Amino acid sequence: MPALTPPVTADALTLAHRIPPGFVMGTATAAAQIEGMRTSAGRSVWDDFAAQPGHVLDGSDTSVTCDHVHRYADDVALMSELGIDAYRFSFAWPRLQPGGTGALDPSGVDFYDRMLDELAAHGIAAFATLYHWDTPSELGGWLDRDTALRFGDFASLVGERFADRVSHWITLNEPATVTLNGYALGIHAPGEALLFDALPTVHHQLLGHGLAVQALRAASVPGRIGITNSHTPVQPATESAEDAVMAQLFDMVHNRVFAEPVLLGRYPDAPAELEAMFGALGNTDAADLATIHQPLDFYGLNYYMPSRIAAGPGSGDSPDGSAEAMSDLPFHLVDIDEYPRTGFGWPIAPEHLGTALGELRDRYGTALPPVYITENGASFADDVAADGTVHDPERVAFIAQHLNAALDAVSPGGVAEGVDLRGYFVWSLLDNWEWAAGFTQRFGLVHVDFDTLERTPKSSFRWLREVLAARKA
C-alpha cells in the first residue's frame, strides 16, 4: 500500500474550516456491491438477474465483489485511517434471513456482529440501511404487498438484535431507483419493464418503510430512524407547455410520489392531463397512508445529477443504461451538455445539489426533519500508475465542489437556508460491483483490483483524510 504522507493543501484546509462542529462526515457502501461470499447466504433478485446473460454489462455477479465479508477488518482500518465519523452500510436481507422469512441466520448475525464490533472499536458510528435492493428471491418482490409485511418482520428482528451498536437506521435506499429501473424500465433487478404499471411498487415499498419504522420503534432502538431517496432536480428542455408537463411528470415519478407520502401523509395530486397515469396510486387506503407517514428523525438525500426532460419518445437511453421501454414513454431525457461528465456520463452539476435541498425545504417546510446527504460521488476511469499510486483529481474536485455547494446552500442567504443539514457521505469507500454496470464503473476512494482484491487508497482518499484531520473541534 503506498504511503499516505502528502502535505496538507490550502484547498483541504479551506474546506475543513467550513465544516461545522458536529457535522457528520462519512462514506457509504451497500452489501450486494462489496460483501461477496454469496454461497453462504440466501439468493437475492440481483443474483437471479445477474445470472441471465446480457443483464450485467461485463457478465459479472455478486459472488466475490470486494470480498468484504472476509476483509472487513482491513476495510474498517482504512476507514479509521481516513478519519471518518460514520460508516453507512447495508444489512443484506438474504444473508440475515435467507428466503425472507423465519429467524435470523446465525452465520449472518455473526458477520454483522463482528463488523459492528470492529466499527465500535475504531469509534466509527454505524449508519445501517435495512434494504439496499437485495430482495430475497423467494419473496414476490415489491409488486406483492406481502413483501412489505415481510420487510416489517425483518426490521423487527434486525432492530432487536443490533440496536445497541447502530446510531442511525435507514429503512429503504432509493425506492425511486427500485421502481424506475427495476420495475418500470427493466434495467435493474428484477428486470420488469412495466412502465406506469410499476406504480404499485411505490406504495408497497413505502408501506414496508412505515412498517419498518414501527417495528424499530417497538424494539426500542436508541438510534435515530429515517429513509433515503435519490432526488433529481428536474427542468424542462424548452419553454414549451408540452415539455413543462412532461418535466412535471418526471418530477412526480422520481421525487414527489416517494417523499410526500412519507413526509406529508399523502400522494401528490397529478395534473388533470396526467391523472390516468397515476391510477394505481388513487384511492389509497387511509390506514396505509397513516402507516407510511411515521415521524422520522432524519431524511436522507442521495444526489448525483439534475435531469432535463422533453416531450415525446426518445432513443431509449437512461442514466443507468439503455432501456428499450424508455422509447414507449411520453417523454425522454435530454443531455445536459453544459457540464462536464463522470465516467458514467452523468453531468457534474454541484449547484443542483443546493437546488435539491431547496426543493425539499420549499415543498415540505416544517415537515422536513434534519437532512443527511447519504450519498454523493462519481465514477471515473481510475488506473494504478507504475509507482503503485492512483491519481483521481476529478474525484477530489467533485467532492470539494459538492460539499461546498451543500454548505453554501444551507448558509444564511443560501438557496436552502433553513434546512438542518447534519452530514455528508461520500459514495463510495471502495470501488465495487456497480449493479448492471458490473465492474466497469469506479466510484471508490479506495481502488480495488478485482482480480487480486488488493486495496489502494487513491489521491482522493489522501485529500479527504487531510480535510477531516484539519477540521475545527
pLDDT along the chain (473 residues), means of 10: 44 94 98 88 95 97 96 98 98 97 97 98 98 97 98 98 98 98 98 97 98 98 98 98 96 98 96 88 93 98 98 87 90 96 97 98 98 98 93 97 98 98 98 98 98 98 97 77
How many angstroms separate the CA atoms of 38 and 88, rounded?
21
C-alpha cell of residue 274: 396526467
User: How do beta strands 331-333 and 307-311 pair?
Assistant: antiparallel
**Boundaries of domain holding 202:** 10-469
> Taking Cα atoms as reference points, which of 155, 70, 45 lies closest to residue 104?
155
- 97 by DSSP, 3-state: which? coil
* 352 assigned to a ligand binding site: no
The pLDDT assigned to 473 comes to 60
Q: Does some domain include residue 4?
A: no
Confirm if 170 and 209 have CB atoms less than 8 A apart: no
Active site residue 324: no
How many angstroms separate the CA atoms of 316 and 296, rounded?
37
How many angstroms separate the CA atoms of 82 and 77, rounded?
9
Number of domains in the chain: 1
Q: Does some domain include residue 3?
A: no
> Taking Cα atoms as reference points, which of 442, 440, 432, 426 lies closest to residue 79?
426
- pTM exceeds cut of 0.85: yes
Q: Does some domain include residue 178?
A: yes
Candidates 35, 260, 375, 466; catalytic one: 375
What are the b/e assignments for 205-214, b being 16+ CB within 10 Å? bbbbbbbbbb
The pLDDT assigned to 6 comes to 42
* 434 assigned to a ligand binding site: yes
Candidates 35, 174, 394, 466; catalytic one: 174
CATH code of residue 220: 3.20.20.80
DSSP string, 315-347: -SEETTEE-GGGGGSSEEE---TTS-B-TT--B
How many angstroms separate the CA atoms of 281 and 202, rounded?
9
Q: Does some domain include residue 425?
A: yes
Across the strands, what pairs with 309?
236, 333
Q: Does some domain include residue 121?
A: yes
Confirm if 91 and 82 have CB atoms less than 8 A apart: no
Q: Does some domain include residue 393?
A: yes
> Taking Cα atoms as reference points, which of 384, 394, 302 lies closest to residue 341?
394
CB neighbours of 274 closer than 8 A, spacing ≥ 6? 245, 248, 249, 252
Q: Does some domain include residue 64?
A: yes
Active site residue 35: no
C-alpha cell of residue 470: 484539519
* 132 assigned to a ligand binding site: yes
Q: How many helices (H) and strands (E) would you count in the chain?
A: 15, 15
* 435 assigned to a ligand binding site: yes
Across the strands, what pairs with 236?
309
> Taking Cα atoms as reference points, which of 173, 172, 197, 200 lies closest to residue 184?
197
Cα angle value 220/117/75 (rounded, 5°) = 125
* 304 assigned to a ligand binding site: yes
For residue 91, the Cα-to-chain-centroid distance in whole angstroms is 14
Q: Does some domain include residue 422?
A: yes
